[in-house]
């Protein structure tokens, strides 16, 4: 690997490492951070890094990442010293979200769907080749650890902000955030169910390479990814009252940095769900496999739901 590629990958880790170092600044969070860091490394090592090393497949990260969210929720329950209701709610949001995806990933594994690389991770190899990364083993571990570091840093911030909030009542903004989380969690699950039912129907009718454009898929080509992004935005919303507790005029720089790190979660998840492992990789292969997908792209918004154009209005 040349110097340019080493520098590029070092920069790729930098935001996560800086965030971790920044979070350790606040003494009350250190026990949580140490435990969560240990939990995440253990989960990713056992369920992603080692399997990827022996099989040369990155798809196992789909098991590790959501179970890492469960780990964050369990850490909240173990260490939370704030208002009991807030502790249980924020822990439940992480645990339920992680279990939904984590159990689904385990089911895919047991059915043999991880015996070959998932298409979004095949797409990663095209990126590695384009950027001149020739060592696949290093690339696999690098990509897996980015998702591990995300669970240790940015994606743990809503839990960190809320698990020690002592205010013994929920604000209107928190209730709104929790309600939005539940709504979009249901939307995401509904979108997945609609696609599964569509695929089952096509298989029973012996129709192959069909484009799913029913239900929520009429308004967005990736309604599940959009809803997942909104789930994290809802977590940010519910964290604002807790964020205000840490406002300190004597250390305003720390507080501003904390605000920016919290808001960055939205950008991080959008980039991931659209460009990294989401919409763009998915559509690269859909265009090759499904003859009607190009027309579907013309008629249907990619990410943000919009009314379908006339060609896809049925």
According to the model, what pLDDT value does residue 132 have?
Answer: 86
Asked if pLDDT for residue 313 goes beyond 80, the answer is no
Encode pLDDT of 189-224 as tens digits. Answer: 999 999 999 999 998 988 888 999 999 999 999 999
**What is the pLDDT of the chain when averaged over all its residues?**
93
According to the model, what pLDDT value does residue 307 have?
Answer: 94
According to the model, what pLDDT value does residue 309 have?
Answer: 83
pTM for the model stands at 0.94
DSSP string, 241-308: HHHHHT--GGGHHHHHHHHHHHHHHHHHHHHIIIIISSHHHHHHHHHHH-TTHHHHHHHS-SSS--PP
According to the model, what pLDDT value does residue 107 have?
Answer: 92
According to the model, what pLDDT value does residue 207 have?
Answer: 87
Write out the two tokens for 235. 């977590």
According to the model, what pLDDT value does residue 9 have?
Answer: 86
Q: Kindly state the average pLDDT of the residues 257-282.
A: 95
User: What is the DSSP code (8-state) at residue 212?
Assistant: -
3-state secondary structure of 58: coil
Encode pLDDT of 293-312 as tens digits. Answer: 999 999 999 999 999 987 55
Encode pLDDT of 243-261 as tens digits. Answer: 999 887 568 988 999 999 9
According to the model, what pLDDT value does residue 299 have?
Answer: 93
In whole angstroms, give the CA distance from residue 109 to residue 11: 33
Encode pLDDT of 15-52 as tens digits. Answer: 999 999 999 988 899 999 999 999 999 999 999 999 99
For residue 314, name the pLDDT band (cuts at 50, 70, 90). very low
Range picked from 106-110, 146-150, 199-203 for highest mean pLDDT: 146-150
Domain map (residue ranges) of the chain = 1-168, 170-314
Q: Are the C-beta atoms of 238 and 174 separated by less than 8 Å?
A: yes
CB-based contacts of 242-246 (< 8 A; 24+ apart in sequence): 242/161, 242/162, 242/165, 243/161, 245/165, 245/167, 246/26, 246/161
According to the model, what pLDDT value does residue 249 have?
Answer: 59
Range picked from 132-136, 151-155, 286-290 for highest mean pLDDT: 151-155
């Amino acid at each position: 690997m040349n110097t340019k590629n080493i520098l590029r990958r070092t920069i790729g880790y930098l935001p996560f490492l800086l965030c971790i170092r920044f979070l350790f600044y606040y003494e009350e969070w250190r026990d949580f951070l140490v435990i969560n860091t240990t939990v995440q490394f253990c989960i990713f090592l056992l369920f992603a890094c080692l399997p990827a090393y022996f099989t040369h497949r990155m798809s196992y990260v789909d098991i590790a990442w959501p179970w890492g969210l469960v780990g964050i929720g369990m850490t909240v329950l173990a260490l939370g010293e704030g208002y009991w209701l807030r502790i249980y709610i924020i822990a439940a949001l992480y645990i339920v979200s992680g279990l939904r995806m984590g159990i689904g990933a385990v089911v895919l594994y047991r059915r043999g769907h991880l015996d070959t690389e998932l298409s979004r991770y095949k797409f990663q190899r095209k990126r590695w080749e384009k950027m001149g990364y020739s060592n696949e083993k290093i690339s696999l571990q690098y990509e897996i650890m980015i998702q591990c570091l995300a669970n240790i840093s940015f994606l743990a911030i809503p839990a960190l902000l809320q698990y020690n909030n002592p205010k013994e009542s929920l604000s209107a903004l928190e209730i709104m955030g929790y309600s939005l989380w539940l709504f979009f969690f249901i939307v995401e699950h509904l979108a997945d169910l609609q696609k599964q039912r569509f695929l089952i129907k096509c298989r029973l009718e012996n129709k192959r390479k069909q484009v799913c454009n029913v239900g929520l898929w009429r308004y967005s080509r990736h309604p599940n990814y959009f809803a997942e992004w909104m789930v994290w935005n809802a977590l940010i919303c519910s964290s604002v009252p807790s964020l205000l507790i840490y406002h300190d005029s004597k250390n305003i720089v720390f507080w501003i940095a904390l605000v920016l790190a919290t808001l960055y979660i939205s950008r991080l998840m959008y980039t991931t769900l659209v460009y990294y492992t989401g919409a763009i990789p998915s559509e690269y292969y859909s265009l090759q496999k499904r003859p009607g997908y190009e027309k579907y792209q013309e008629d249907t918004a990619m990410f943000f739901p919009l009314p379908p154009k006339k060609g896809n209005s049925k």
